[in-house]
Structure 1
Amino acid sequence: MSKPTIDCVQKADAQLGETPLWDAARGVLWWIDIERPTLWRLDLATGKASALEQPGTYLGSLALTRSGRHLIARDLSLLLLDPGTGATEPFAETPGEAMPDTRLNDGRVDAKGRLWIGTMDNGLTDGRGGFYRVDPDGAVAAIFGDVIVSNGIAFDPDGRHMYFTDTRRYITYRLTLDASGERVENREIFADYSATGDRPDGACVDADGCLWQAFFGGGKVVRYARDGRIDREIALPVSNPTCLCFGGRDLRTLFVTSATKFLTPDQLAAEPLAGSVLAIDGVGQGVPECLFGA
């Protein structure tokens, strides 16, 4: 297996960079800084990056849509955003009133155009969060609760299985969906780090059906074979990789966002690329991102 190459494609100092998504229609990479709520656009052809700052406290997640707009998660609300003008339109609300001090976090769209997204406890300790399915008509269905930090949502190419991580329980689950793909029939542990405290974060699935996952505080991304074995591990020049996606020509570049959050001044000095966007080539091929909408 050839040695991968790792490059920095956007030097940044994101507090909590997250949710990179390859927009094949525009040929650009989108990503967000959650805690300095900003939507970033990176044109790989020119290297030009532009920022669209958002109101609110957190910009928790991002999804591409069939209309060309973005579906963004701002605090506990979902909004449609025009990336050209910055104009937003309310779309849906998640039931956060009963669970104070929570916000929306990681999400991903399935093959039928539905968004699966979770909430999390801002204190990172209690099971205040939940997991939801958001349909194209704006209906929100609760899937399960008792989640500390929703993360790592990715879909198996077979359409019947998905992955879900509770980062602060240190567990990644493999979920089996029913025939309609609307409900979870079974939840089993796929990877358990509760004994070590390793923090699995954002994830994506490649063309071979293998799960790629970033480890916050672990300075690495790993690939799991379909049976749960780690068959590839790539060390990174940042301690806090957060999420990843395949993109670029033929979906053969693995993009990784990162964070400066929790790093000490000494660590920041030693990690000049902390908070930047990295690109890894030579590790395989991804699958196209699904688009939200009917």
Structure 2
Amino acid sequence: MSAVFDDRACELGEGPLWHPERQQFFWFDILGRRMLTHGPDGPESWPMEELTSAAGWIDRDTLLIATETGLYRFDLSTGAREPVARIEADRPETRSNDGRADPMGGFWIGTMGKSAEPRAGAIYRYFDGAVEKLFPDITIPNAICFAPDGRRAYIADTPRQRIWTVSLDAQGWPDAPPGVFVDLRADALNPDGAVVDSEGALWNAQWGAGRVARYLPDGSLDRVLDVPARQCTCPCIGGPALDRMIVTSAWEGLSAPDADDGRTFRLDPGCTGLPEPRVRL
């Protein structure tokens, strides 16, 4: 069963994050240029200066946010931001998309063309004060998430309809070529954002299908949860007991959006999530 968690419709909802110290979810409306939350005091939002898509947490009052020009510290108390690292700042035709902190305290972020031009983007990692490009020639980067032990990452390029997995060394760097984890081409499914739960299973939002699917560590399909919005974008597991899931969605590109398109939903995953790692600066 699903329920509406937040009824503010996002043109392109993305990047949900559970902040453990504040005990609240944050997410973005990329094209609406805003960050949203629904905390103890009800719904709040912050305007974003640029297209902004993902975040990690640094401390109680500070996030690391990913924008079309790079990574910034964002002060939740004042709304001020400070630059951390430039990423494709010299390429106005691209923007950030899916991103997540890794268990070693790094931050992975994907970029893409603003009109989803083929292979115009890449996936980067910020770690110990430096940015390194990990995977080039990406069209729509998605499904960035990590196994519980931090020794495996998952990534996707949505139009290619596959989720890949790649082994990581002790510092969180890829140490082997990616391999296919789930191939969705036969079912014409489009992998969007993803998160891994405490059992090592991957939950993937599937754009255009109105569903979130759970895949076991061997890649087999375990179960599917329906989402009222056709274009669900990314799940996130949080809550005081890490047993609540929210899923963002989008009305982007729909000629006649339904009332639920773009809303953020609450689902019961029937499992617990992983603590969100703190980003190391």
**TM-score category (smaller protein):** over 0.9
Residues 122 and 134, structure 2, Cα contact 8 Å, conserved in 1:
yes
Query: Is 1:129 aligned with 2:121?
Result: yes
Give the partner amino acid of 2:171.
S
Residue 206 (structure 2) aligns with: 215
Residue 117 (structure 1) aligns with: 109
Q: Distance in 1 between matches of 2:35 and 2:128?
A: 22
Given candidates 72, 84, 94, the residue that maps to 1:91 is: 84
Worse overlay, 143-152 or 280-289: 280-289
Residue 162 (structure 2) aligns with: 171
Residue 63 (structure 2) aligns with: 70
Give the partner amino acid of 2:25.
L
User: Over residues 230-289 of structure 1, what are the superposed CA-to-partner deviations in whole Å (9 max), with x where a residue is unaligned?
Assistant: 110111111011001111130111110111112122xx2xx3121111111252111111
Give the partner amino acid of 1:291.
R
Moved over 4 A (4+): none
Residues 66 and 293, structure 1, Cα contact 8 Å, conserved in 2:
no
Query: Is 1:51 aligned with 2:42?
Result: no
Q: Distance in 1 between matches of 2:107 and 2:60?
A: 15
Map 1:31-42 to 2 at 5 A: 31-42=27-38
Query: Is 1:25 aligned with 2:25?
Result: no
TM-score of the superposed pair, with normalisation by structure 1: 0.91
Match of 2:204, SS state, is strand
Worse overlay, 86-95 or 100-109: 100-109
How far residue 292 of structure 1 moved from its aligned partner, in angstroms, is: 0.5
Residue 275 (structure 2) aligns with: 288
Match of 2:198, SS state, is coil
Q: Distance in 2 between matches of 1:181 and 1:120?
A: 23
CA 1:235/1:242 → structure 2, altered by over 3 Å: closer, same or farther?
same
Query: Is 1:105 aligned with 2:97?
Result: yes
Given candidates 172, 197, 200, the residue that maps to 2:191 is: 200
Give the partner amino acid of 2:262.
G
Q: Distance in 2 between matches of 1:194 and 1:128?
A: 22
Worse overlay, 207-216 or 116-125: 116-125
How many aligned residue pairs are there? 281
Residue 245 (structure 1) aligns with: 236
Query: Is 1:231 aligned with 2:227?
Result: no
Residues 114 and 133, structure 1, Cα contact 8 Å, conserved in 2:
yes
Q: Distance in 2 between matches of 1:215 and 1:70?
A: 27
User: Over residues 29-64 of structure 1, what are the superposed CA-to-partner deviations in whole Å (9 max), with x where a residue is unaligned?
Assistant: 111100011011211x45x101101112x1122111
How far residue 124 of structure 1 moved from its aligned partner, in angstroms, is: 1.9
Given candidates 4, 10, 18, the residue that maps to 1:8 is: 4
Given candidates 271, 274, 290, the residue that maps to 2:261 is: 274
Residues 37 and 43, structure 2, Cα contact 8 Å, conserved in 1:
yes
TM-score of the superposed pair, with normalisation by structure 2: 0.95
Runs (5+) with no aligned partner, structure 2:
none
How far residue 132 of structure 1 moved from its aligned partner, in angstroms, is: 0.9
CA 1:95/1:184 → structure 2, altered by over 3 Å: closer, same or farther?
farther
Match of 1:105, SS state, is strand
Residues 203 and 213, structure 1, Cα contact 8 Å, conserved in 2:
yes
Q: Distance in 1 between matches of 2:177 and 2:151?
A: 11
Q: Distance in 1 between matches of 2:225 and 2:60?
A: 36
CA 1:168/1:85 → structure 2, altered by over 3 Å: closer, same or farther?
same
CA 1:51/1:174 → structure 2, altered by over 3 Å: closer, same or farther?
same
